Amino acid sequence: MAKNTYKQDEVLEEPFDIKHLLRASSYIKKYAKRMVFAILLSGIGGASGYVAPMIIQRALDLAIPEKNERLLFSLVGMLVGIYLVSVIFTTIRSRIMVDVSQSIIYDIRKDLFAHLQELPFQYYDDRPHGKILIRVVNYVNSVSDMLSNGLINIVLESFNLLFIVIFMFLVDVQMAFVVLCGVPVLCVFMVWIKNKQRRAWQAVSNKNSNLNAYLQENIVGARITQIFAREDENAEIFKDLSKDCRRTWNTAVRYSNLVWPGIDSISVCVRAAIFLSGLILFGQGNKSVGTIVAISSYASYFWQPIMNLGNIFNNFINNIAYLERIFETMDEPVTVKDAKDAVEMPKIRGEVTFDHVNFSYDASKQILNDVSFTVKPGESVALVGPTGAGKSTIVNLISRFYNVNGGRVLIDGQDISQVTIHSLREQMGIMMQDSFIFSGDIEDNIRYGKLDATHEEIVKASRTVCADEFISKMPDRYQTEVRERGSMLSQGQKQLISFARTLLSDPAILILDEATSSIDVQTEKALQTGLNAMLKGRTSFIIAHRLSTIRNCDKIMYIDNGGIMESGTHDELMAKKGHYYKLYTAQLDEVQKAG
């Protein structure tokens, strides 16, 4: 999936080819027996229906002229029986295919979601989330019908055509060839319109994706929109994106709407040719009225499956663009994954080593350049420095959210690129600046760190980090429902819940990335006891904006210019009067001025 914003159309990495359909067949194979059964039911119902014109021919040429009432009633009874068989079989087939279609949706969506779970942070950093979301929901819904009912209908309509042609030739060979004269004209028409349709529906896909990306971004940022009174400007942007959707949709539909009138026009011309040729031959006494009526009926039947195939083709072209994008997402490489010979990470003691590590998010800027350091088990390390220096990058590499470009990251002497990601991360606790809260109750949000935790364990963890005090005052205490992203909670409350979640998981290595930034000073002082309990016996990495909170760390590293500029205790670095000293005194001056 190409990197872009809501303002840019997505560009497919490769053109569509037959491999996409062959790949899609893997989702059909497991339901092949049920689909074949559905085809048989429809085939029997359809084939029986094509006997009707021959019955009508016998009624017109034999029963009615000879006034044979017994034969006429028998023929009418046969017509009723054929109709009932067709209705019953079609109903059963529809029920089967609804279930198959929903099963295919489930399978594709499950695989797509599982792949998205494995993609690295970089993937989500570079792309609008709305463009990812539309692939999992809208596109999968669209292609599922094509992969189930669409393919079955192609088979059925093809068989229908075969049956109709056979019956036409059984009735009259000459008149059957008149009907088939329109096929070459149809082939030329369909080839002409195919490419135009595909390009038009790809444009629709692009514009819908852009609109969805902007809508998702605007909903998430609704508060910022209102704070800065951006409602009118945002409405204009949304209006322009909606106009693009309407314009491309109208263009695509114009091409799609040409299919049915085109086929219908060819059908009308062919039926006119039937009556003209039939009238000439009838005048010579070579054709009966029953034959002309029967062939005319078969001609109508003949063009019906062709029109149906045209509509299926229409839908097929529309959905190819969606199928391309679904598989493009599935083909997005999982750059951070287990090595083939990866082993389980043993119980972590806590020694962390960076061995000549190099890292960059892209080729334009090197973030870390030949960084080396070792942290002993149980040590607390503070990372300080200017914004964008690489502090968060270091802790992200320890958690292996990104792969290093060069060098190694080792824990207890084990290269983390050679252990399974799950066994590594399950022994780590990570607190980010943006504390994410899931919709549900508070207890479930805390239990996210340890799914088998008891209520007592959850309360104990909450008390340790000073979260129990505000939770106990809520309407339903730990069973209080919180909305998506914790919108009913303050930022400080969300962070305290995240602290409890992290502590409950009992990590061997603890990472706090600006984890106390949204907690007021008074609460932070109360929390300090809990933090000390969390840090005790664990290797910890702390990134904090307020430098007063990291004075007691065993080691402080000043990060800038792609490396470690200074390292030592608070007192050692203050005595040096270098980068850390300047940063600390400047912040101290600001606090004193504010006081």
Structure tokens at 395: 């802790």
184 C-beta neighbours (distance < 10 Å), count: 9
- DSSP bridge pairs for 510: 429, 540
The H or E element spanning position 568 is strand 563-568
Phi and psi (nearest 5°) for 481? -75, 135
Alpha helices in 119-182 (DSSP H): 121-126, 129-134, 140-145, 151-171, 173-180
DSSP helix/strand/coil, 538? coil
Question: In whole angstroms, what is the distance from residue 328 CA to residue 333 CA?
Answer: 10
- Cα 554 to chain centroid distance, Å, stands at 45
Question: Tokens 């009912």 — which residue?
Answer: 149
pLDDT at 1: 45
- Integer CA distances (angstroms), 349 to 136, 376, 538, 539, in order: 40, 9, 8, 8
Q: What is the DSSP string of 131-145?
A: HHHHIIIIIHHHHHH
85 C-beta neighbours (distance < 10 Å), count: 16
Q: By the 8 A CB rule, do 443 and 458 touch?
A: yes
Question: How big is the chain by its Cα radius of gyration, in Å?
Answer: 35
Mean pLDDT per 10-residue segment, the chain (595 residues)? 57 58 78 81 70 71 75 79 79 80 83 83 72 76 72 74 77 72 74 73 79 77 71 84 88 77 72 68 58 70 73 70 79 81 89 92 82 91 86 89 90 91 85 73 82 86 83 85 70 79 84 68 63 77 76 87 89 88 80 59
Amino acid residing at 212: N
pLDDT at 136: 78
Domains and CATH numbers, the chain: 18-330 (1.20.1560.10), 337-427+509-595 (3.40.50.300), 436-506 (3.40.50.300)
- DSSP bridge pairs for 563: 560
5 C-beta neighbours (distance < 10 Å), count: 13
